[in-house]
Amino acid sequence: MDIIRVEGGHELNGSVHVSGAKNSALKLMAATLLAPGVTTLENVPNISDVHVMGKVLKRMGATIEVVDEHSLAIDTSAVDSWEAPYDLVAKMRASTAVMGPLLGRFGKAKIAMPGGCNLGARKIDMHILGLEALGVHFDTDHGYIHADASDGLVGTTVTLEFASVGATENLIMAAVRARGTTVIDNAAREPEIVDLANMLNEMGAKISGAGTPVVQIEGVDELHPVTHRVIGDRIEAGTFIVAGALMAGDEGIDVVGFNSSHLGMVLKKFELMGIDIERIVGGVRVRRAERIRPVDIQTLPFPGFPTDMQAQTMVLSALADGSSVITENIFENRFMFASELVRMGADIRIESHHAMIHGVKGFSGAQVVSPDLRGGAALVVAGLIADGYTEVSAIHHIDRGYEHFVSKLVGLGACVERATRPDSIDD
């Protein structure tokens, strides 16, 4: 069993460069289906979720050349299948992002139903309602969704009940090829959606308003391949900022390779918690907080506080000088990591979607299990300040979204390693 072992108490210094954004790269890869030919994506993170999306595209007939560790040349000219199979969708729910582009290019898609996952129900009803409004007919059998738009997609106004990231993206990727104009009302505004719209516009699409609640898409007859650079990962950056706030030496650490305005609400809350954050070229410099003030936080769609930073922030709150409440509004089951942090000495009580956190003086290293991607990274970060050794297992979750996490931490001076722990003889 692979684990990440952390020896706590080592000061962090220097600079860390974050990778390209996972949540952009996955959708940009799906969007290459819309432009027959070779699209080159740069600054793609080398993480397992990207590998899964690569497999999804290859199964459809695309070829992918790994130009270098972070550049992929994706040729979608020969795509002749419209299916996202269950074995891959079950591994990564974001593979449903191919539905919009497949409908846009071929007028059909067959997507395995994602089913539940450990962040709760995570339905795709809003994707389906929105696409139906554009003229797509849906049918389900044997665990698959069959989407058909053989009569063509027709632009219309779609009002989303909730500003869903995935639904906004799927709708944009279908609507770029619809006849006429589509308006998405109550669209999600995440920076990754702006990145997607930017690439599609470079390909010849006519999208305006991405990054605002109203996105307008004028359909076009074809899109052409381009070369596009993925934006930096704001969530990876936020994770290293938490590490710096806990363990940076006198000079602080520099976290670069991302746009700090993409972390606006996170940086604002961290500053209220007493963390010294300086904007520098290409990122931020963060210094260790002598005292962390308790601050209440609730997760919300962008520009609100991202759910993907909730666990890492709870590590800070758990060491604050007082009590605070974190409210999770986006996903059910996103507090699973809290019970692991309690094993390290935190004082956290969960009531429905609220976490009541009473700050403690410190953590003690323990064996803990990574419950999901962000929770796993948060446990490693907690280990940096814990007394003794922390061993985080189920680290495949972390590999989904953090490129070279261990070596980046080691580069900052942390004492962290990947290791193999023998499975229990009772297993």
Q: Note the residues at the interface with ligand UD1 (CB under 6 A).
A: 23, 26, 94, 121-127, 162, 164-167, 188, 306-308, 330-331
Report, in Å, the least distance between residue 92 CB and ligand UD1: 8
CB of 138 to ligand UD1, least distance (A): 13
Residue 283: both structure tokens together: 């990122």
d(CA 322, CA 334): 23
Taking the C-alpha atoms of residue 250 and residue 349, their distance in angstroms, rounded to an integer, is 34
Angle at 316 (CA atoms; ends 311, 320), nearest 5 degrees: 135
Helix then strand count (H, E) for the chain reads 14, 24
Q: Which is nearer to ligand UD1, 59 or 122 (CB)?
A: 122
Judged by CB, which is closer to ligand UD1: 6, or 126?
A: 126
User: Cα(22)–Cα(192) distance, rounded to whole angstroms?
Assistant: 9
Indicate which residue of 88, 90, 117, 350 is catalytic. 117
Smallest distance, Å, CB 124 to ligand UD1? 4
**Which residue carries 């381009």 as its tokens?**
226
User: Strand order in 347-351's β-sheet?
Assistant: 297-298, 323-327, 354-358, 347-351
Closer to ligand UD1 by Cβ: residue 236 or 254: 236
Indicate the residue among 10 and 374 with the shorter CB distance to ligand UD1. Answer: 374
Q: Least Å distance between CB 120 and ligand UD1?
A: 6
The pair phi, psi for residue 388, each rounded to 5°, is 85, -150
In angstroms, give the least distance from the CB of 310 to ligand UD1: 9
The residues pairing with 354 across neighbouring beta strands, listed in sequence order, are 327, 351
CB neighbour list of residue 265: distance below 8 Å, 6 or more residues apart: 303, 304, 305, 306
CA distances to 118, 241, 316 from 371, rounded to whole Å, are: 8, 21, 19
- Distance from CA of residue 304 to its chain's centroid? 15
Residue whose beta carbon is closest to ligand UD1: 166
Q: Give the whole-angstrom CA distance, residue 48 versus residue 396.
A: 8
Q: Which is nearer to ligand UD1, 331 or 337 (CB)?
A: 331
- Of the pair 149, 165, the CB lying nearest ligand UD1 is at 165
Nearest approach in angstroms of CB 289 to ligand UD1 is 26
Catalytic: 117? yes
Spatial contact of 398 and 376, defined as CB atoms under 8 Å apart? yes
Task: Give whichever of 50 and 245 is closer to ligand UD1, judged by the CB atom.
Answer: 50
Q: Which is nearer to ligand UD1, 191 or 252 (CB)?
A: 191
**What DSSP character marks residue 222?**
-
**Residue 143 near residue 112 (C-beta atoms within 8 A):** yes
User: In sequence order, which residues have a C-beta less than 8 Å from that of residue 156 and are 6 or more positions away?
Assistant: 133, 134, 180, 182, 183
Instruction: Please identify, using beta-carbon distances, which residue of 249 and 303 lies nearer to ligand UD1.
Output: 303
DSSP 100-163: HHHHHHHSEEEEE----BTTB----HHHHHHHHHTT-EEEEETTEEEEE-TT--B--EEE-SS-
Closest CA to 213 of 164, 142, 248, 155: 164
> What positions carry a catalytic annotation?
117
